[in-house]
Structures are given as structure tokens and as C-alpha cells.
Chain A
Amino acid sequence: GQQVMQIPQYQHVQEGEDFTTYCNSSTTLSNIQWYKQRPGGHPVFLIQLVKSGEVKKQKRLTFQFGEAKKNSSLHITATQTTDVGTYFCAGSSNTGKLIFGQGTTLQVKP
């Protein structure tokens, strides 16, 4: 069945350093979404990518969708303590289901 893998599982960075999480799918995706879950909170939608090679930016966050629509990445420039949390990618193909990756938990040391 469709699988979405995310790496790394954990990342510790010093405040001000950059951070990237990668998402890979076993099948071609029709779209990919990214969510952020703060500690003790619930997932919150960040963005959706649908086009091959698409790049979207939200302030210090840059989201990319691969040319083959099988992978995606989230890059955070100059991390801040407010970026702490778990970042999930979620992709869907022709199965009609949104499959979540395992998430990358980001810790930021002030």
C-alpha cells in the first residue's frame, strides 16, 4: 500500500541554525500537505502543494514538491524557539486517503 516516509525522526538545532525535513512516498502523489503539531497540541495545517516542482514560501519556511511528485521537503531558515514541534507531511494518491508521515520532531536550543 501507499507509504509516506519522513526523515529525520528527530532534529536538535541551535537557535539560528537552519532545519530541513524530507518526505518520500512509495507512489506518485496528487498533492502533499504539511502540518505542524506543537508539544501537547493538535496538528495545524501549514500548506498544500499540488504541482510538480512547486515551491512555496511562508516567511522563514520553504516548501518544495519534487519534479516526480514523490518527494517533498520543508526548510526552515534561522530557526527560532517558536518553531519547536513535530512537522508532518501527508500525501495522497489515487487511493483517496491522506497518508501521514511519521513526523520530524524539532527541538531548538536557545
Chain B
Amino acid sequence: DSGVTQTPKHLITATGQRVTLRCSPRSGDLSVYWYQQSLDQGLQFLIQYYNGEERAKGNILERFSAQQFPDLHSELNLSSLELGDSALYFCASSTGGGHNYEQYFGPGTRLTVT
């Protein structure tokens, strides 16, 4: 158990819908990262927040947005869902905001878009 929690574990929704994925980082960690893992795409970095502020942005689509709240939990919002958005979404956390901190991954949310 990494100490990072993600809800829900599974999500099944239809194309065009909007969903929110939630992540609580390990106690004391200030950074939260979001990743998308598809079968043929490996781990794609989406976005990082550090202490409430956006720190780094990866290949995040405009239909996706995220935020980190004052209690440091984070939410990833996915809208106008397409079949290709079906994937495993991981949240990770680290103590610092730099790229040299080890990241602790949550169990993931499996999103299925039908």
C-alpha cells in the first residue's frame, strides 16, 4: 500500500459524458501527478500540481482538466469522453515538486467509455 488513494476504482460511462477522478496523496506529500496508461501507450504524463499550483504539463487534452485543493487532494476532470479515453488513470504523489523525487502511485481508476 503506497498511501495514495484513488476513487473510484472502476468507472463505466458513455461517450460524450463527463467524469471526475479523485486522488488523495500520501500524508505530507505536496505534489500530485496524473498519468494515463493505455494498453499500447505506456505511462503518459498528463499534469503535475505542487501545493495547489500547476507545476508541469504533459500531453493533457483540452477536454481534460485538473486541480489540487487546499487539503492537497486532486481531481482530474474528463469531459466529452471518447472511446479512446478508455484507460487506466494513475495518480502519484511525491514530497517535493522537482523531477528528482520518487513518486508513489495509487491503485488507479479504470475508465471504460462505451
Interface-central residue, A48, A95, A98, by most chain B CB under 10 Å: A98
Flag if B106 contacts A92 (CB, 8 Å).
no
The listed residue (B45, B55, B90, B100) touching A42 by CB distance below 8 A is B90
Flag if A96 contacts B42 (CB, 8 Å).
no
Q: How many residues of B contact A (CB 8 A)?
A: 23
Known: A48-B100, A96-B99. A42 touches B43 (CB 8 A): no
Q: Mark A67-107, 1 if CB is under 8 A from B, else 0.
A: 00000000000000000000010101001111111110000
Write the nearest CB–CB distance from A24 to chain B, whole angstroms. 15
Q: How many residues of A contact B (CB 8 A)?
A: 23
Q: Mark A28-55, 1 if CB is under 8 A from B, else 0.
A: 0011010100000111110010100000
A42 partner residues in chain B, CB cutoff 8 A: 2, 90, 105-108
Q: B-contacting residues of A (Cβ < 8 Å)?
A: 30-31, 33, 35, 41-45, 48, 50, 88, 90, 92, 95-103
